[in-house]
């Protein structure tokens, strides 16, 4: 008689759960019950007499591991808490706590988080005198930490990572290398490890210590990895190393949802699994328990254009919602696109669909600007999970500070904000310099610290030009970016490209105003809107990038700004396999929807040459039989 936990599985899930020993590749399509399948596999192994402490379960959040182990505990009468379960970092931490002395690491080490790591790295820069070097800036600590992390996670040289992610930093490659060495030495002297150290040292421990390597290879009879498509090279190599003895390695994931290459994840880890394990048992789980049949047909059509993939076809569950026909909505411009989204959300709410069951998804945060403004105008509460509301972001407030000083030279807050963007000027120095301004000195008469002098001179010259452009706020924004903010952002933020895209969108927003003062007034009104208080019971529409939306689902989904150069993003098309990852992102967006899906794009955008936009190539790849096309204006005119 089969165990009860097997009886509720579909044939594909059951085949994965009861697969024979050896390497196993489970391709789990979107909404296919992946977590349930993995939990049942663990229960099945324990049911077969495998001791819990000889099972290793690697997940991407400790919460996911706890939930799976809790499920297992309810399925079989075994103490599942003895399973080695958790994130890769958690597993690395356990290994190092037990054996750190073999790497000459103090066993009483402390783990520092990202913020503390940035502070420590900034101290190293300061101690080495690398806040400025021969007129060239060293990237800020947050950017350096991102570059170091990528080098470790992808197992590539720092030079390779710099060339790919921040080529301008190759000019100071020697200095960056010295900073990294100083950072490592400072951590060791202070008995500190950061998150990357937990993985790297665990890997080094097993790779270089044959006794420990053989011990843990023997210990773990079965290794299971969740979300395998999101692993980086180091994580994949660590798993392969541990699995060498018994080769009972089950990896579960979906190559069609591999969308995090920008943070080091490598789709080839899952795609090359059959080559690394030629005898692997492979099974695809394709029954989708989330979406309506019409949405799944659209998703299947969207992803089939990719060449590098495991073919699969999502199929609806017998009780799948009937749903509505997916719609392709063509708007005149981003403003009309936003008007459509707001209008349709209101109508759906009137029909009884809760606000929190609806979401607006987009490729990049700046795509949501007009939608945010429209929802504010309509009084529709929304939650932005792709970051702060557009006008509340630090980089937008930085640009606004430059402009505020143009219209109000007595604006102390704006002065201090801009001044602290200069190298060598902190809050105390900015306060001292403001005293000189408040006593009547012009920006050009102030003498800042020597390290800030060249940038201060640039600011003064820029400020004079901005004074002559108060009737062209869009030109002002562009000039600030050109003369100052482009280089500042690239050396200050790991996600500089995304932030600069936001600033370009701000310039587009500024075109609607005849004077800088008018624009700033509107900015202030949009920034100071009352947001729902934490813990307040409000039903909110979700606005999110698709990257942030992975793993979530809603009854109704709008995917906006589906235009060439925006989605797919132009820069993604310039890197190897970039188009395929963008198409996977489109697939993830589609498969978030349960009942209704609206794909929307505008035909015109003022800042584009000749104003005309082309629909995304991903839309053109879809069959017209799967989509009903309508004009946005027809919805409220009743056409």
Active site residues: 34-35, 226-227, 257, 592
364 is in an annotated binding site: no
Give the closest residue to 561 by CA, choosing from 330, 303, 389, 359.
Answer: 330
160 is in an annotated binding site: no
Provide the β-strand partners of residue 284: 27
CA separation for the pair 274, 27 (Å, rounded): 12
Q: How far apart are the first and last CA of the chain?
A: 61
DSSP per position, 29-79 = -TTS-HHHHHHHHHHHHHHTT--GGGEEEEESSHHHHHHHHHHHHHHSSS-
Tokens found for residue 591: 């498969």
Residue carrying structure tokens 């789990």: 28
280 is in an annotated binding site: no
Q: Are 590 and 302 in contact (CB under 8 A)?
A: yes
Question: At 113, is the secondary structure helix, strand, or coil?
Answer: coil
Cα 183–Cα 186–Cα 189 angle in degrees, nearest 5: 150
338 is in an annotated binding site: no
Tokens found for residue 266: 């490598």
29 is in an annotated binding site: yes
DSSP 19: P
Q: Which residues, 6 or more positions from 137, have their beta carbon under 8 angstroms from its beta carbon? A: 423, 487, 491
Cα dist from 628 to 593, 625, 632, 636, whole Å: 16, 7, 12, 17
Q: Which residues, 6 or more positions from 359, have their beta carbon under 8 angstroms from its beta carbon? A: 541, 542, 543, 544, 549, 552, 554, 556, 557, 558, 592
DSSP 93: H
28 is in an annotated binding site: yes
Residue carrying structure tokens 């813990």: 535
DSSP 486: H
Q: Are 289 and 31 in contact (CB under 8 A)?
A: yes
59 is in an annotated binding site: no
Q: Which residues, 6 or more positions from 73, have their beta carbon under 8 angstroms from its beta carbon? A: 79, 80, 81
Cα dist from 80 to 41, 65, 72, 242, whole Å: 13, 11, 7, 21
Tokens found for residue 519: 């624009």
**Prior bond of 568 cis (ω within 30°):** yes
578 is in an annotated binding site: no
Which stretches of 275-432 are assigned E, i.e. beta strand?
281-285, 287-288, 315-316, 327-331, 358-362, 382-384
Q: Mark residue 379 as left, alpha or beta (left: phi above 0; alpha: psi -120 to 50; beta: remaining).
A: left
DSSP 565: B
DSSP per position, 624-635 = GGG-EEEEHHHH
Tokens found for residue 485: 């903010």
CA separation for the pair 387, 546 (Å, rounded): 12
Q: Which residues, 6 or more positions from 321, have their beta carbon under 8 angstroms from its beta carbon? A: 291, 292, 594, 595
CA separation for the pair 28, 420 (Å, rounded): 49
Q: Which amino acids are annotated as binding site, given as ranges?
A: 28-35
Q: Which amino acids are annotated as binding site for ATP, given as ranges?
A: 28-35
């Amino acid at each position: 008689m089969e165990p009860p936990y097997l009886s509720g599985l579909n044939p594909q899930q059951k085949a994965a759960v009861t697969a024979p020993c050896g390497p196993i590749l489970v391709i789990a399509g979107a909404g296919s019950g992946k977590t349930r399948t993995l939990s049942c596999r663990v229960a099945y192994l324990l049911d077969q007499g495998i001791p819990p402490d000889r099972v290793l379960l690697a997940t991407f959040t400790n919460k996911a591991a706890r939930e799976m182990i809790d499920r297992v505990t309810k399925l079989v009468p075994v103490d599942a808490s003895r399973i080695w379960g958790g994130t890769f970092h958690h597993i690395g931490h356990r290994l190092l706590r037990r054996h750190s002395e073999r790497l000459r690491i103090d066993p009483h080490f402390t783990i520092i988080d990202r913020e503390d790591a940035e502070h420590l790295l900034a101290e190293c820069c300061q101690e080495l005198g690398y806040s400025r070097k021969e007129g060239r800036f060293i990237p800020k600590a947050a950017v350096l930490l991102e570059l170091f992390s990528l080098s470790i996670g992808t197992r590539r040289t720092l030079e390779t990572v710099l060339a790919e992610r921040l080529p301008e930093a190759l000019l100071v490659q020697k200095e960056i290398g010295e900073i990294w060495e100083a950072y490592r030495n400072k951590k060791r002297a202070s008995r500190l490890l950061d998150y990357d150290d937990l993985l790297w040292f665990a890997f080094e421990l097993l790779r270089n210590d044959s006794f420990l390597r053989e011990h843990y290879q023997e210990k773990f009879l079965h290794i299971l990895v969740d979300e395998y498509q999101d692993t980086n090279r180091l994580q994949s190599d660590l798993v392969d190393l541990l699995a060498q003895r018994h080769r009972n390695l089950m990896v579960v994931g979906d190559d069609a949802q591999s969308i995090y290459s920008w943070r080091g994840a490598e789709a080839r880890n899952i795609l090359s699994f059959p080559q690394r394990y030629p005898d692997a048992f492979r099974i695809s789980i394709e029954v989708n328990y989330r979406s309506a049949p019409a949405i799944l047909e659209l998703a299947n059509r969207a992803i089939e254009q990719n060449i590098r993939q495991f073919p699969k076809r999502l199929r609806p569950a017998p009780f799948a919602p009937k749903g509505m026909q997916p719609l392709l909505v063509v708007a005149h411009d981003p403003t009309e696109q936003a008007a459509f989204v707001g209008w349709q959300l209101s109508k759906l709410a009137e029909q009884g669909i809760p606000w929190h069951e609806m979401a607006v998804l987009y490729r990049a945060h700046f795509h949501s600007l007009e939608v945010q403004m429209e929802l504010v105008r309509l009084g529709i509460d929304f939650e932005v999970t792709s970051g702060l509301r557009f006008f509340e972001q630090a980089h937008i407030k930085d640009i606004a500070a430059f402009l505020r000083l143009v219209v109000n030279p007595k604006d102390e807050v704006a002065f201090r904000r801009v001044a602290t963007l200069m190298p060598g000027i902190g809050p105390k120095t900015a306060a001292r310099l403001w005293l000189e301004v408040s006593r009547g000195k012009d920006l050009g008469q102030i003498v800042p610290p020597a390290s800030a002098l060249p940038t201060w001179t640039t600011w003064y010259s820029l400020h004079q030009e901005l004074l002559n452009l108060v009737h062209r706020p869009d030109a002002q924004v562009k000039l600030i970016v050109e003369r100052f903010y482009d280089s500042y952002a690239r050396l200050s933020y790991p996600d500089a490209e995304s932030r600069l895209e936001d600033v370009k969108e701000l310039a587009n927003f500024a075109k609607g105003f005849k004077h800088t003062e008018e624009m700033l007034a509107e900015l202030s009104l949009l920034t100071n809107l009352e947001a729902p208080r934490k813990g307040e019971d409000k039903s909110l529409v979700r606005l999110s990038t698709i990257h942030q939306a992975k793993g979530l689902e809603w009854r109704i989904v709008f995917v906006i700004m589906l235009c060439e150069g925006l989605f797919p993003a132009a820069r993604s098309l310039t890197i190897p396999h970039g188009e395929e990852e963008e198409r996977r992102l489109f697939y993830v967006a589609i498969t978030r929807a349960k009942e209704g899906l609206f794909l929307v794009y505008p035909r015109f955008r003022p800042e584009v040459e000749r104003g005309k936009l082309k629909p995304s190539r991903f839309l053109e790849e879809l069959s017209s039989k799967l989509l009903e096309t309508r004009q946005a204006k027809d919805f409220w005119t009743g056409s």
